[in-house]
Amino acid sequence: MERHEDRFLLSAAADGELTGAEKSRLDAHVSVCAACRGELDALRALKAGVAALPRRAMPLSLPDVVAARLGAEPAPGRRWAAWLWEPAAWVPAGALAAAALWTLFAAPEPVEAEALPLEELMASHARCAVESIVPTGDLVAAEFSSRLQSRLEAPHARR
């Protein structure tokens, strides 16, 4: 096969987490692809090596130590104003101050929009609206007259 299998699929195979269809597809690919077979063997060896490592027992006093540290009072030297002495706090404060000063003093004045003469604009709009009316075939003299006549004769037929 030309396409190598995904590393996540190989890792899932080493952990034994593949479905039947995925496992059969991977087995078919690994039987012909030496690179994927080597990587799968390496992953299985790594898993076996980690499983063979000795496990250390948790000290029995660990839960008590963690609970004591969580319930302890904060260090007396750390107060709300302690951030004033941290250099990392001055960078955002300085950037905020610079942005505020630039906005107040150095920002360019807004340019006022050029006023359009209202009369010219409305006249142009009216000309465009009038020029866009194109008569349709039913407004030709003969057709229009017959339609008008039929409407006059039966005024209640439309309702």
Q: How many CB atoms lie within 10 A of CB 150?
A: 10
| 112 against 39, higher pLDDT | 39
Locus of tokens 């250099």: 87
- Radius of gyration, alpha carbons of the chain: 42
Mean pLDDT score across all residues of the chain: 77
Locus of tokens 């920002």: 107
Cα distance between residue 76 and residue 78, in whole Å? 6
Indicate the number of domains in the chain: 1
Residue 155 lies in a domain: no
Residue 84 lies in a domain: no
Residue 1 lies in a domain: no
pTM assigned to the model:
0.37
Angle between helices 7-15 and 34-52 (to 10 degrees): 50
Q: Read off the pLDDT band of 134 (50, 70, 90).
A: low
Question: Which pLDDT score is estimated for 138?
Answer: 56
Can you list the positions of beta strands (E) in the chain? none
Cα distance between residue 19 and residue 28, in whole Å? 14
Average pLDDT over residues 138-155: 64
Cα distance between residue 51 and residue 47, in whole Å? 6
Residue 23 lies in a domain: yes
| 143 against 6, higher pLDDT | 6
Structural domain containing residue 15: 7-52
Closest CA to 42 of 60, 29, 30: 30
Residue 112 lies in a domain: no
Triad 8, 9, 14: Cα angle to 5°:
95
Residue 22 lies in a domain: yes
Average pLDDT over residues 74-93: 70
